[in-house]
Amino acid sequence: MNERDTEHMLAELKEKENYDATDDFKSADLILINTCSVREKPVAKLFSELGIFNKKKKDGAKIGVCGCTASHLGKEIIKRAPYVSFVLGARNISKITEVLHKPKAVEIDINYDESEFAFKDFRSSKYKAYINISIGCDKSCTFCIVPKTRGDEISIPMNLIIDEANRAVSLGAKEIFLLGQNVNNYGRRFSGNHEKVNFTRLLQELSKIDGLKRIRFTSPHPFHMDDEFIEEFASNPKICKSMHMPLQSGSTKVLKDMKRGYTKEWFLNRVQKLREMVPDVSISTDIIVAFPGESDADFEDTIDVMNQANFEQVFSFKYSPRPQTEAEFFSDVIDSDTASVRLTSIQELHIKQLDKNNASKIDNTYTVYFEELYNDGFISGRSDNNTVIKVKGSEELLGEFKDVKIISIGRTVLTGEIIN
């Protein structure tokens, strides 16, 4: 989502202020840092990075801090780093060209409604288009700061999403990637008067676009994975068969403390239904270990879910308390040694499962959409179920679909040869 927000800001700056992006910050007239605040580490890093940028930037260059940390720290950023020119919250990015001309502006209104703002087109990739389908989040997971930095959930009207997808396809994208905090809660609330539609309907309408070959999305919420949604996922040939299902914990008790809205049994039931209906589906997840009160038995439940679900990809983290969240005040904090041991167990199990899953892919054939050129004579892309695959080849393969047979495996990238 931050990547897409950055594209939106670049589009506005290009169109209205004639800016162009550069990779060399020392020659830049404007340095934008688009921040995340989901975990503690990136927040701490912000101030050290700001110091470096300030020391090395061109004379007169402006520095803007944007995104979720901007929303939650606001004026504090300018207090701690007075050379920062403006602070722009995650919910206010449409105002980028306004704050540019307002010294020390702090725009962080989380009630600001950008759901119908017509951003200009700019994408960092020609082949894949990120498209926001909603802003904010209505959930109240007790560990999460996002509702405080991105505000209430509002869906972007379906006609705007379809127009954006049509434009992206006409500019060459064959794949779209729909973004939202809870994509499968789409349509719950619009800010204007719009036809009531849900995520399944949105997927069906987008699938009608000629020239669009693949649709991906993230993140769906396990709570909203009803049968209708899973059946559409299974039967719609344009929907890529990879699903991100953020588990967070395998313990029903911890899930309740986290206010996730589902149980261990519900989660496993949804995984089972998915695997039954889409045998080659790839399922990824997020796991937080050592949430306050997580007992050994609770942690074993998470291991049990991992064993039963056999996730293709696991993003795991130690719990870190975030400001303005309920869990910040929870007692029964888990000590850091226990947290480290649990994280290591999760990561070791994941590696074991990953190696086994990858080994089973040797000699399989996948249709790969090529998107990235390496400088060692290889080019890579993704299969429908999100496996990263590289082959020997050059730029004429970019934006092409080819059938590829896997000849060797690595942890994150498999190597193949084109057979068709």
List contacts with ligand SF4 (CB under 6 A).
137, 139, 141, 144, 146-147, 181-182, 221
d(CA 259, CA 148): 16
Least separation in angstroms between CB 187 and ligand SF4: 16
Which tokens in the block code for residue 294? 């997580």
Give strand ranges (E) for 310-399: 313-318, 365-373, 378-383, 388-392
Q: Which is nearer to ligand SF4, 39 or 139 (CB)?
A: 139
Which tokens in the block code for residue 293? 């009160």
Which tokens in the block code for residue 17? 């202020």
Give strand ranges (E) for 36-162: 62-67, 86-89, 105-107, 128-132, 134-135, 154-155
Least separation in angstroms between CB 326 and ligand SF4: 11
Q: Which is nearer to ligand SF4, 146 or 240 (CB)?
A: 146
Least separation in angstroms between CB 330 and ligand SF4: 16
Least separation in angstroms between CB 274 and ligand SF4: 19
Q: Which is nearer to ligand SF4, 144 or 274 (CB)?
A: 144
Kindly report the CA angle at 237 between 164 and 5, in degrees rounded to 5?
30
Q: Which is nearer to ligand SF4, 181 or 358 (CB)?
A: 181
Q: Which is nearer to ligand SF4, 70 or 247 (CB)?
A: 247
Whether the CA torsion 99, 102, 106, 107 is positive or negative: it is: negative
Q: Which of 365, 366, 416 is nearest to 393 (CA)?
A: 416
d(CA 199, CA 107): 31
Q: Which is nearer to ligand SF4, 182 or 358 (CB)?
A: 182
- How many CB atoms sit inside 10 A of residue 147's CB? 19
Least separation in angstroms between CB 136 and ligand SF4: 9
Q: Which is nearer to ligand SF4, 139 or 405 (CB)?
A: 139
What is the pairing mode between strands 282-289 and 242-244?
parallel
Least separation in angstroms between CB 338 and ligand SF4: 23
Least separation in angstroms between CB 147 and ligand SF4: 5
